[in-house]
A = this chain, B = another copy of it.
Amino acid sequence: MAPATITIANGATWQDVAADRQRHRDATIAEIRPPVPELRKEDIPLNTTGIPKKLLTEQEIQITNADVEDLVKKITSGEWSSTTVTNAFLRRAGLAQKLTNSITELLPKRALGKAAKLDEYLAVNKKPIGPLHGIPISVKEHISIKGEDINAGFVGWVGQVAEEDALIVQYLESAGAVIFARTTQPQTLMQIETDSNLYGITANPYNTTLSAGGSSGGEGALIGIRGSILGIGTDIGGSIRVPAANNGLFGFKPTSQRLPSAGWVAAMAGAESILSTTGPISTSLEGLRVFTKSIIDQKPWLRQPGLVGLDWRDSEQYYPDRKIRVGIIYNDGIVRPHPPILRAVNELVGKLQKSPNIEIVEWKPWKHDLAWSIIAKLYFADGGADVKAAVDSSGEPWRPLSKFILHENPDVTQHTIATLWKAICERDNYRTAYAKLLNENPVDVILSPAGPSVASKHGTSRYWGYTSQWNLLDYPAIIFPAADAVGDAAREKPYEYPEGYQPLSEKDKYIYDLWKEHGAEGYKDAPISLQLIARRFDDEKLFRAAQILLEEAGLPAAVPA
């Protein structure tokens, strides 16, 4: 029997609770066989992505370097058993923890048990059980896994045990997935980095001085180093997209109410003015698609009735014989992106302009500062009382970015019902106005930075606008790797801030100062993903556009392993 969980309710200090959670995490990693190699801190370079190749077997590397679409074939053909695949990912994930601190626990017993059943099923039936047969999937901690602790990043919530799997986990398992790892998230879940008192900071595998992003930062870092190739995140302001972008991955924030959220645990249950959504992060575009389709094909609205009863539509039907009209956002008018981001947008636009199948136009961001003020007034409609109570229940200190978004955020408003209704009307008016602009200038998709910089220095991700914009509008968005990583100063020079640059705003100054302080060298090796956005419910059309754009630009639809 497992030792009892140490909790605040049982009289422990927050430090005791955190230490116990970490002990528990390490114990689950210690169960992996063969044991995960030990690493000395001093042997870990800034860029950790070369380490797994040195410490894992050749087959483990082959397996974990495969993408979802390849892996399904190899398992179904019998080349690799699900058991072998699962163990390879457990080993690489265990190693990933030592490199980037992205794991809350591994689930070897559950995963290998499921894998054995899948292997048996395939042997007996000679066909896969579903479209995700044998695919290992990692899960952000606040999405319930039966029998496991579920704390949503609050020390005070440790000790709560999930009675059943979250609905999305159930659908993924029905489709053949193997749930094998749980991943870190920040205190409050309302950060776009990953920093909690339970586990500390999750680092970026490409440069450990940089953030993995957040709030699904454990997923970002883990998939970034291929300790997983498909994971579940959640996004209310960028929490799938920032980690995907920071780690050079593919990520998908669907239109809300298309993928199940039932069974996740978070503060502010019942808030619905701005909806969070679940979605995938993966090493390939096809990984995102098959994840989403395999769930929607099971009609999740029959069990979570708030979801929209809309079948997954075949993406191939879109753009059969016409150009895709792409609106470009270079700069949202509030914060100028750092040079590497501008480089990525400009290089990609240059490639797309040569395509006969793409029409490029500029998309003028319309009052994205107003958009932020509207969404920020709705994030914590109770003035943050519920989140504050959850943090303060344990006496744990406020992490800097939690404090920033809640205590230091001038837009946070303690609403009455009357002011909430007014704020909702403002939200709807903004949405209507934005739709009108799109009707007048009908672009199919918008190409935009995913943030003002590549993965930021730890603790400095204070500008959400490039991602939260699309939560306010509830538009689906795909993140995809778009350009070479940050190089030396010469590579970034053509997109440097002009001499004597005058920041557009306080926010712009903050971001500008970061570049002045750190420069290209400070962000060395950080990958660059961009964001493609479509109108609400155009999820399938967005996938088709992303596929065509990548083809036309000569970019791979999967991260090179």
Contacts and interface: CB of A to CB of B under 8 A. Distances in A.
A404 interface: no
A308 B306 CA distance: 12
Most chain B CB atoms below 10 A, which of A416, A431, A436, A538:
A416
Given A301-B537, A309-B538, A473-B305, A269 B431 contact: no
A358 interface: no
A262 interface: yes
A366 interface: no
A272 interface: yes
Interface in A418-472: 418, 420-425, 428, 431-432, 434-436, 438-439
Interface string A504-547: 00000000000000000000000000000001111000000000
A309 B438 CA distance: 15
Given A301-B537, A536-B301, A385 B418 contact: yes
A305 B418 contact: no
Chain A interface residue count: which class? 35 or more
B269 A421 contact: yes
A304 B439 CA distance: 11
A302 interface: yes
Say how many copies of this protein the assembly contains. 2
Contacts of A310: 308-310, 537
A302 B535 CA distance: 9
A305 B534 CA distance: 13
Interface string A174-211: 00000000000000000000000000000000000000
Most chain B CB atoms below 10 A, which of A381, A417, A421:
A417
Interface of A: 262, 268-273, 301-306, 308-310, 381-383, 385-386, 414-418, 420-425, 428, 431-432, 434-436, 438-439, 473-474, 535-538
19 contacts: A270-B421, A270-B422, A270-B424, A272-B272, A302-B438, A302-B439, A302-B535, A303-B436, A304-B435, A305-B474, A305-B535, A306-B431, A309-B310, A381-B417, A382-B416, A382-B418, A414-B417, A415-B417, A417-B420
